[in-house]
Amino acid sequence: MGTTDLHYRGLVEVGQDIQAKKLSAVEVTKAMLQRIDKLDGALKSYAHVSSESALEQAATAEQEIAAGQVKGPLHGVPIAVKDLCWVKGMPAAHGMTIHRDFMPSEDATVVARLKQAGAIILGKLQQTEGAYADHHPKIDPPKNPWDKELWSGASSSGSGSATAAGLCFGSLGTDTGGSIRFPSAANGITGLKPTWGRVSRYGAYELAATLDHIGPMARSAVDCGAMLGVIAGADPNDTTAVQLAVPNYTANLSGDLKGVVIGVDRRWTSQGTDDAAVKVLDDALRVAKDLGATIKDITFPDPQAVTDDWFPLCGIEAAVAHEVTYPARKDEYGPGLAGLLDLGLQQSGTDYQKIVLRREAFRGALRALFETVDLIAVPAQAYAAPTLAKMASLGEDASLIGGLLRFTCPFDMTGSPTITLPGGFAPNGGPVAFQFVGRHFDEARLVAAGAAFQRATDWHTRHPSL
């Protein structure tokens, strides 16, 4: 593979060459910074690029590797993180004008762990305002590298765009209602939303504390597994991060799905879902069956109530996160986030308790379903590769926003882990994805299933022409 392909190579693969001294961490970092300089003026995926810091980190990594002190699969590899993750010495605006001058004095736990693993932090990736649905009116949204008229996803839009365009080898995103999965699907990359509590949230701005998940976005399941292995684990600064040991997610990848039972509710996954999204899921299940999986028909618990409840619950939790600046500085907020906060502030204590009870009942029903299957297959969203024009009409069309969230936010409400995998293309040329959903803390099975699917298919190796 020639040097022209360097930017699209896999994170683990490039890491192996750097750690074997076949590639220089400094030269790889320089090449990535040059590509960002060349392309990101149009793509707008980065909120902040830290060239000097990245080159210093790369030089240190190179010295450590030369001395035989290899720290693991990410050592010497350039990556980037969503703007809401604190990086000491880099601004952390959270997609908001209110925070544009905030400079953290410490790293988020996930960032500290990436640095400890020897990863090179190129910079901060652009996101929607407060990690909710829309970009702040004063911020240029990241573009989809496949087609600037296609949606780039929300809220980890910069992470999706930069990773797909080869402006980093992997990135961190966050997911509260679908924000690892939407940009992964939209930009044709792989995204892993871990179980809630698998990854510390310390040093990351909140949208909604009990719904927020931090996870890796990369170009393959193996690369996501390598990143998750670094960022996961208990953290004294975040007592909601569980004490469970962190497995090696890239070990024991058999390349098949023998013995794996995959559940699918074909009525739920096809009703109101467009042809391209249905086809990608059907094709993926055929591949899974060929790889040895058992495909089992299931009845998914009715997700309508928890999908409806997601908005007021997210609003309530976001109102707590923003209480210092909202409504006191309401005029500095964009309409989307302000609307969510107002919705949260309108809820009563009894409204909230009813949401909590419905959420717990749904969690229990899904937990019971996982007694009969290992994975559940669902589309990434009900309509494939939406255009910016279509997404602009979300406010006027309730079915659109329902179709967007119906396969994502139920799994934020339950905290279930999911992996989003590229599985085809829509008639308009945009990437289309599907998800596997797993039992709590069974990310290893998701990585293994994703790796097996990607060994048998090449969708994840397709790249936009830039």
Q: Give residue-wise pLDDT tens across range 122-164.
A: 999 999 999 998 999 999 999 999 999 999 999 999 999 999 9
The mean pLDDT value for 329-340 works out to: 95
How many other CB atoms are there within 10 angstroms of residue 3's CB atom? Answer: 9
Sheet of 78-82, strand order: 46-49, 120-125, 78-82, 170-175, 213-218, 190-193, 418-425, 431-438, 375-379, 261-264, 294-297
pLDDT value of position 395: 66
pLDDT over threshold 90, residue 17 = yes
pLDDT band at 392 (very low <50, low <70, confident <90, very high): confident
How many other CB atoms are there within 10 angstroms of residue 252's CB atom? Answer: 9
The mean pLDDT value for 412-420 works out to: 98
Give the closest residue to 386 by CA, choosing from 342, 426, 333.
426
The catalytic residue positions are 82, 155, 179
Percent of the chain topping pLDDT 70:
99
Domain ranges of the chain: 3-258+388-461
Round to whole Å and give the CA distance between 380 and 435.
6
Round to whole Å and give the CA distance between 285 and 444.
19
pLDDT in tens, 263-274: 999 999 999 999
pLDDT value of position 3: 41
**Beta-ladder partners of 193:** 418
Q: What is the pLDDT of the chain when averaged over all its residues?
A: 96
pLDDT over threshold 90, residue 403 = no
pLDDT value of position 268: 97
CB 162 within 8 A of CB 79: no
For residue 83, how many C-alpha atoms fall within 13 Å in the half-sphere facing its CB? 33
pLDDT band at 1 (very low <50, low <70, confident <90, very high): very low
pLDDT in tens, 224-252: 999 999 999 999 999 999 999 999 999 98
CATH 3.90.1300.10 is the classification of domain 3-258+388-461: yes
CB 108 within 8 A of CB 199: no
Round to whole Å and give the CA distance between 175 and 178.
5
pLDDT value of position 399: 73
pLDDT value of position 255: 93
SS (H, E, C) 379-416: ECCCCCCCEHHHHHCHHHCHHHHHHHHCCCHHHHHCCC
